[in-house]
Amino acid sequence: MTMRVFDHIEIDELDRRDRHLWLLAISMIVILGAGTALLMYPPVFGAPSDPNARMFQRIFVGFCALNSLFVVYLLERQVTIRRLRRRLIEEQRRNAELHTKASKDLIASLPNFAHFQDRLAMQFRRAVNSREPLSLLVVSLTPSKTSTQPGEIETALGDAVKAVLRKLRAEDSLYKVRRGVFAILLPGLPRTTADCFASRLADGLADVAGALSRFSFEMETMSYPEHAAAAHEMEQMARSRFGEQEVDDGSKVVSG
């Protein structure tokens, strides 16, 4: 129980603990070196008639110089390490900002619900005329409650969108219905194949979410002609699934 208490260190206190440890180590080296020098001084300089006194005095001076140089070296290393650590933290912060910005730009570049309606109507007419299947996959992403910073949420959603885009075929297309909800049109895929695609996509999203579960997700598929006889039925599913909220109004299209 005692070890658990002393081993528990908050992440915000690591720098302060590290600084205290360095100061303690340097202080102990100075104290031990000074104490040893004081103990050595009387026998070295107290007997000048000793034929070996000159050699012992040189050893004493060398010991003091070496101890002083070692302390200066430790101080210089500590200053250098702290400078490099600050630079590393600044670089990590800059990389995180760039990652967050890239995620925001990626999500903003996705086509919105209006484009989804147009593409769905076109693909549905093509499926009816060619008697080919058409599937719709709706994905809902919910950020983890531990992600409290807006940047963390945007990064998690952006990484999830990247995972989805990597799974798309050239003829597939991804749309942003609203924040956290995306629709994927899968031309030519029947229900069974769409379910297999959803399973592979779920594996990819689980890998991106990671052990910390940065986000959770839900998916639902609808296919023509198994479940829908008209395009508006698919549109209604994309609009109403996973909560009633206002749909997005973007203006760009992204395909796989």
- pLDDT tens, per residue, the chain with 256 residues: 444 545 555 656 777 777 788 888 888 888 888 888 888 887 777 766 666 777 878 888 888 888 889 888 888 888 898 899 889 989 988 998 898 899 889 998 999 888 988 999 999 999 999 999 999 999 999 888 877 777 788 888 899 999 999 999 899 999 998 888 999 999 999 989 999 999 999 999 999 888 778 888 999 888 988 888 888 888 887 777 655 555 555 434 344 4
Question: The whole model's pTM is what?
Answer: 0.66
Q: 3 lies in a domain?
A: no
Q: 25 lies in a domain?
A: yes
The whole-angstrom distance between residue 242's C-alpha and the CA centroid of its chain comes to 26
Domain that holds residue 88: 8-106
- Residue 149 sits in a domain whose CATH number is 3.30.70.270
User: How far is residue 116's CA from residue 96's CA, in Å, rounded to a whole number?
Assistant: 31
User: Tokens representing 78?
Assistant: 């500590």
- Do 114 and 44 share a domain, yes or no? no
Domain end point (choices 106, 127, 156)? 106
What pLDDT is recorded for position 201? 92
User: How far is residue 196's CA from residue 256's CA, in Å, rounded to a whole number?
Assistant: 17
Distances (CA, A) of 116 to 75, 104, 110: 63, 20, 10
Q: 2 lies in a domain?
A: no
The whole-angstrom distance between residue 156's C-alpha and the CA centroid of its chain comes to 8
